[in-house]
Amino acid sequence: MGKVLVVGAGGVSSVAVHKMAMNPEIFSEIHLASRTKSKCDDIAAEVKKRTGVAIATYGLDAMDVAATAALIRETGVSLVVNLALPYQDLALMDACLEAGVNYLDTANYEPEDEAKFEYSWQWAYQDKFKAAGLTAILGSGFDPGVTSVFATWLKKHKLDGIRQLDILDCNGGDNGLPFATNFNPEINIREVTAPARHWENGQWVESPAMSTKVPFDFPGVGEKNMYLMYHEELESLSTHNPEIERARFWMTFGDAYINHVTVLENVGMTSIQPVMHNGVEIIPLQFLKTVLPNPGDLGAKTVGKTCIGDIATGPAKDGSGEKTFYIYNICDHEECYAEVGSQAVAYTTGVPAMIGAAQVLLGNWTAPGVWNMEQLDPDHYMEMLNRHGLPWQVVELDAPAAF
């Protein structure tokens, strides 16, 4: 039993708050704060309608550390769940330290004026959280999040180590729109236009964005083209599993998505450098976010499934030589919408955020310090995935990934 403050009132937050309300024996009180209070009120009204649980709401600028710390003290929560944007991570970690509570997020810190994905800023908080006796959990979404827990579970139960790891993220959903991102468009486009990078033999290998395309037959979805990308968990997984020889991240995109992003990039609309427009300074990518569909509104329109998982190769625990396992979840957009009013991309992030928060409140993940998901015991988290809407399967493959 514990009290939680969720910050941010977008697509992911809506799912996480619904799922927290469905588990009142773990989340005894839920407080929801975001920049625009009316968005918190909308979520609270939906949650009340579906579950009968009342949620307290607040307007808050999470960049204001003193205001956040005051709200934490006023509400008496023991955990802050950061479902705002990656730009707010450090301010929210500071507020948690100031008010003496635990912290959890789903995406690593990014400076707003630089699309730079690395954990250095948040890892620098290790000593402060340790000294304060507080726990900070980084990246409890699906990827990062569940994909790292999958890798740790395989290492705990099936493999003595991981030699090769491929993370495969497929969204086989269709929302009928010519172009829409399935989570925050600004964060999504920053990610997909960054150069691809993977870990190989102790170093990073860089290639141009979207230059490596491979078809893959995804369980529950069928064949889709997936593209090699950089994704933040590659850094933490290769750091915390030094035996990994090669770690790669792949995401599927349709041809229409690639064409739109290419055109938008060519005309300068994905830039994060400020430009003057009619005497007002604007950032093209932020303006683009304003005109694109809100991912939180796509739920009712989206059909199809997601399939996200890991293919890992390494020495088998039973001494039978090298083995390869594929561990994945399949999630249906329409089923998510029926349950919590959101599409599967928000669902597959919001449910793991709730489960990570539950691990802290239940006392399973309480070591003081700053932790990535692969550093924590996976068993209860994996069991909760099965019970709370994201069941997983593990199959043995005949051979290591051949792509």
Give the integer Cα–Cα distance in Å for 360 and 196: 34
- Other C-beta atoms closer than 10 Å to the C-beta of 307 total 21
Distances (CA, A) of 351 to 183, 190, 372: 15, 24, 17
Site for ligand NDP in 323-352 (CB under 6 A): 349
Nearest approach, Cβ of 24 to ligand NDP (angstroms)? Answer: 23
Give the integer Cα–Cα distance in Å for 334 and 347: 11
Determine if 60 is a binding residue for ligand NDP (CB under 6 A): yes
φ, ψ at 221 (rounded to 5°): -120, -45
Stretch in the footprint of ligand NDP (CB under 6 A) among 3-11, 208-216, 244-252, 314-322: 3-11
For residue 66, with 0-12 CB atoms within 10 Å meaning exposed, 13-18 middle and 19 or more buried, which class applies? exposed
The SS3 call for residue 187 is helix
Helices and strands per DSSP (H, E), number in the chain: 14, 18
Give the integer Cα–Cα distance in Å for 95 and 74: 13
Select the residue whose beta carbon is closest to ligand NDP and give its number. Answer: 10
Nearest approach, Cβ of 400 to ligand NDP (angstroms)? Answer: 25
Determine if 142 is a binding residue for ligand NDP (CB under 6 A): yes
Of 69, 145, 302, 378, the one binding ligand NDP by CB under 6 A: 145
Site for ligand NDP in 188-247 (CB under 6 A): none
Site for ligand NDP in 8-47 (CB under 6 A): 8-13, 34-36, 39
Determine if 183 is a binding residue for ligand NDP (CB under 6 A): yes
Closest to ligand NDP by CB, 135 or 343:
343
Extended strands (E) in 49-99: 56-59, 79-82
Give the integer Cα–Cα distance in Å for 311 and 169: 11
Nearest approach, Cβ of 289 to ligand NDP (angstroms)? Answer: 8
Give the integer Cα–Cα distance in Å for 231 and 195: 10
Nearest approach, Cβ of 345 to ligand NDP (angstroms)? Answer: 6
Q: Would you say 248 and 165 are in contact if contact means Cβ atoms under 8 Å apart?
A: yes
Closest to ligand NDP by CB, 324 or 359:
359
Closest to ligand NDP by CB, 289 or 380:
289
Of 23, 51, 75, 88, the one binding ligand NDP by CB under 6 A: 88
Stretch in the footprint of ligand NDP (CB under 6 A) among 85-93, 311-319, 332-340, 367-375: 85-93
Give residues in contact with ligand NDP (CB under 6 A).
7-13, 34-36, 39, 60-63, 83-86, 88, 106-107, 139, 141-145, 183-184, 187, 295-296, 349
